Structure 1
Amino acid sequence: MKQRFLAYFFFVLGFLTVTFFRHYKGDLIPNSFLFWLVGLIMFGIGFWLLRNTPSSEVQSHQKRLMEAIRDIKENGEKIMVDLTQCELKEHSYVEEREKNNGSDNIMLHAIEINMYGWGAISAYDIQKPEQVQVNQTVIIFSRDNSRTGHTDRFVSRVIPRDKVTLGFYLIQQKQTTLYVDKSNPARYYFDLDFLAS
C-alpha cells in the first residue's frame, strides 16, 4: 500500500512539474530546464512503480495464499519425498511475443517514434513478434495409501524449467517435504523453495 501511494505521489508530482516547467519563461526560478528534467524523472519513477506494484486485490490474494500455506505446514501431515523417485512431466512450446514485451520505458518508446519519423527503421521491424521457447514441467509424486488401498498422486505447481534442468536441481536437492491437509488430501503443498535460489 505504501509503495502504491509513493508511486502515485511521484507520478502526480512529476506530471505537475513537467507541465509547469514545459513553457516556463519567468526569471524567478533559474535553470528551469533542470526542474523540467527532474519532473520527467519523477514521472518515470512513478509510472515504473505503478506498473511494478501489485494491486491491493493481488496483494490480498497473495496474503491469503501465504496464510493457507502456513496453515498446511503447521497442521498438515509431513511426508518426506525422494525427489529422485518422482516422475517429471514436461510441456514445452514456442509462442510469439512482441519484441519489446514488458518494456515500459517511456523514453525508449519516444525514441522509437522519432526513428519512425527519420525513416531509420520501419514500424514492422519493431512490432515484429519474436518466437520464445516456453518450458513448463511438473513433479509427480505417487504413494500407496494403506488406509484407502489406492495410490495417491500429488502434482506440484507448474515450474518454468525444462525437464533436464529441473532433473539436475532435484538430484542435487535429493528430497523435500510434502505437506498434506489431514482432513482434505486434495489440499497439499510441495515445498519447492530450493528452486528459488
Structure 2
Amino acid sequence: MISTEKIFNSGREAAASGYNQARAGGNRVYSASHNGITFRIYLDETLTTVTNSHPTMKQIMTMHNLSKKQTDIIHNCLLDLLESNSLNNPSFLPKALNSLIKLQGFGIEMSGIYISLDEDQQNVPDYLDEGIAFEFMDDQVTLSFKEAIRIIIDWCHSHNQTKQFNLDETLDNLKKRLL
C-alpha cells in the first residue's frame, strides 16, 4: 500500500517535472511520473497554476494489491480462453498469448485480452490508455505490461497449463517481447 503522503509528494514532483513542457505546448492537461507512479495533472486556463492532479490507476495496480473481484476477472478471463475451443483449436488461450506477442488483442464471446499497442485501434477498448486489459463478461481490469505478463505466466504455471499446450516457449517469447 502506498501512503497518502508519498502519493501527495510524488504528485507534486511529477507536476513540477512536466510543467514547463506542458506550458510550452499549451497543454492544460498532461501526464508525468515520479517514483514509478504516473499522474494526470490539470492546469488553469492561463497555464500558470496546477488545479488538480491524481495518480492513474494503471500504474498503481499490481498483482499484490488487486481486489478479489479484479483477481476473479483475470482468472475467469484466462479460464474462459483456456476452456473455449473450436474445431481447429482445442483451446483459445495459446492463440490469445500468441496475439499478445504480435502486439494484438484477442477476444471471444465473453472474454478478451487487449493491448494498448495494437496497431488496429478499433481492437483497443476506449478505457485502455496503456498496458493490457483483461475482460470477462462486462468487467475489465487494466494492468501495466509488466504486471499483466507476470500474472499470465503465474496463472499458467499455477494451473499446470504450460505442459498441456506446450506454452513454455510462448510464455518465454511473451516475456522477451513485453517485459
Task: Tell me the TM-score normalized by structure 1.
Answer: 0.22
If asked which structure has higher relative contact order (CA below 8 Å, sep 6+), I would say 1
Larger gyration radius, structure 1 or structure 2: 1
Task: Tell me the TM-score normalized by structure 2.
Answer: 0.24
